[in-house]
Amino acid sequence: MYYVSESPVHGRGLFASRTIEEGELLGKLKGEPTTTDGPHVLWLTENSGFKVSCDLRFINHSKQPNAIYYDDLTVVALCEIAPDEEIVHDYGDDWL
């Protein structure tokens, strides 16, 4: 469904290996809770983070996202994603 490769956005990114349909589940984040900031940490609340350990950690930021993270830690396509298109998520204004 996806693969990790060099990204024009930042470092490495996650790319579609086939057409991904709008609403399709990309997966559920795997990792562990953390209170320490660092690479690949998704902040769920001000004091509660989740250090992502699966390939979904390579989803980069974009103000034109094609994927979304839900509170249950699933990641879903917001629109059709073409093969070799980078999968991106809007990290929010606080991230910038």
Q: Max Cα separation, the chain? A: 37
pLDDT at 95: 54
Under CATH, what is the fold of the domain 2-95?
Answer: Beta-clip-like (2.170.270)
**42-92, pLDDT tens digit by residue?**
888 889 999 999 999 999 999 999 999 999 999 999 999 999 999 999 988
**Can you tell me the distance from the alpha carbon of 3 to that of 17, in angstroms, rounded to the nearest whole number?**
6
Which residue reads 């902040």 in tokens?
43
What tokens were used for 44?
Answer: 């769920």
Closest CA to 26 of 90, 71, 73, 64: 73
